[in-house]
A and B are shown apart, each in its own frame.
Chain A
Amino acid sequence: MKRLILCLCGLLAGHAADAMEVRQFDDPAKQERYETLIKDVRCLVCQNQSLAESDAELAKDLRTEVYNIIESGKSSEEAVQFLTDRYGDFVLYRPPFKSITLLLWLGPFLLLAGGAVFLWKQARRRAEAAQQEEALSAEERRRLQQLKDRFQG
C-alpha cells in the first residue's frame, strides 16, 4: 500500500513538473483559449507530446508565439494558421477535413457501415435458412427425445 501511494505521488509530481512556465493573461477567456489550444497541438520534437506537455526548447518558443498571438487579441484560428503555415497539418491532433484526410475521417464510419451490412446480411441468411428448414419427422423427433433423455438423465 505504501508503495502504491509513493508511486501515485511520483505520478502526480511528474505531472506537476510538466506544467511548464506560468503564462498569465489579463483575460480569463484568453487564458482558456490558450490552454485549450496548446493541448491540441503536437510538439514536433517529441511527437507523442502536445505543445502543453513538452519540455523541448522549440515547444517553449512556440508556446510563446501562441501566447503572443492570443494576447494580442487574435483568434485561435489565427494561431493555428500560424503553426500550420510553418509546420503543416501534422502539428494538429485534429487534422482538418481535406481530400487527403478523407479516409482518416470517414474510414471508421465506412468500417462501421461495412460491419453493419455484413451482420444484416448474415442475419437475413440465417432467418431464411430457418424458414426453409423442414420440420422434423415423427421418427426424428423420437430419436431427438431419446438423445436428450440420455444426456440429461
Chain B
Amino acid sequence: MRFAIPLVIFVLLVVLLGVGLTLDPREVPSPLIGKPAPAFSLPEVAAADRTLSLDQLKGQVFLLNVWASWCVSCRQEHPVLVEFSKRGIVPIYGLNYKDTRDDALAWLKRFGDPYRASAFDEDGKMGIEWGVYGVPETFLVDKHGVIRYKQTGPVTPEDLENKILPLIRELQSAA
C-alpha cells in the first residue's frame, strides 16, 4: 500500500499537467459576460457623418465582430461571416479597430461586407471599453444589451454551428 502513494501522486500530476496542456492560455475569460455592453457612439466606417451607437442596436440579438484590415486572422474568419450574414439569422455589426478608413473600405470591397454597419474605432478606445485585446473578437449581445458570449480569435464554421447558433436561437426566443 505504501508503494502505491508515489504512484498515485505521479498519476495525479500527469492528469493535472495533461489537462494544463489542453488549455489555451491566450483565451482570457471576459469579465464582461453577463454584464451590460459598454455604451459607445462612433462614426461609421462607410460614412464619417453617420454614427453608430449602442442605443441603436438595442432590442435585438446581434453579433459585434471586432476586425481590422491589418489583421491576418480576420482574413481567415471573414468568409465565414460573409456566408453567415447571408442566412439573415442575426445582424452582424462591425467594430473596425485601429484602422484607417481607406484601408477598411478597400478591404470590405475586396472581400465582401457582412456587416449592417461598422463602427470606426480609430484610436481603439471602444476596444478598451469592451475588453478587446486581440483582433478578431466576436461578442454576442442579447435584446437587453447584455453581453452573453465572447469568442476570442477567428470564428470557425464549427464554432458558429455548435456554440454560437444555439445560443442565438435561445436568446432570440427569450423574452
A60 nearest CB neighbor, chain B only: B124
Which of B25, B98, B131 contacts A47, CB < 8 Å? B25
Q: Judging by beta carbons under 8 Å apart, are B26 and A87 in contact?
A: no
Q: Residues of A contacting B30 with CB < 8 Å?
A: 87-88
Residues of A49-85 at the interface with B, using a CB-CB cut-off of 8 Å, are: 57-58, 61-62, 65, 84-85
Main secondary structure of the interface of A (DSSP, over half): helix
Q: Judging by beta carbons under 8 Å apart, are B28 and A58 in contact?
A: no
Of residues B31, B129, B130, which shows the largest number of chain A Cβ atoms within 10 Å of its Cβ? B31
Number of residues on chain A facing chain B (CB within 8 A): 15
Q: Residues of A contacting B171 with CB < 8 Å?
A: none
Which of A44, A57, A61, A85 contacts B28, CB < 8 Å? A44
A59 nearest CB neighbor, chain B only: B133
Which of A65, A84, A87, A89 contacts B133, CB < 8 Å? A87
Q: Residues of A contacting B98 with CB < 8 Å?
A: 57
- How many angstroms between the C-alpha atoms of A135 and B17 in the bound complex? 50
Chain B contact patch, size range: 10 to 19
B31 nearest CB neighbor, chain A only: A88
Residues of B59-76 at the interface with A, using a CB-CB cut-off of 8 Å, are: none
- How many angstroms between the C-alpha atoms of A85 and B131 in the bound complex? 8
Q: Residues of A contacting B34 with CB < 8 Å?
A: none
| Residue A9 CB within 8 A of the other chain | no
Q: Judging by beta carbons under 8 Å apart, are B124 and A57 in contact?
A: yes
Q: Judging by beta carbons under 8 Å apart, are A45 and B134 in contact?
A: yes
Q: Residues of A contacting B42 with CB < 8 Å?
A: none
Contacts A61-B124, A86-B32 known; 11 new A-B pairs at CB < 8 A: A58-B124, A58-B128, A61-B128, A84-B31, A86-B31, A86-B131, A87-B28, A87-B30, A88-B30, A88-B31, A89-B31
* Contact sample, A vs B, 5 pairs, CB 8 Å cutoff: A47-B26, A58-B124, A58-B128, A58-B133, A86-B131
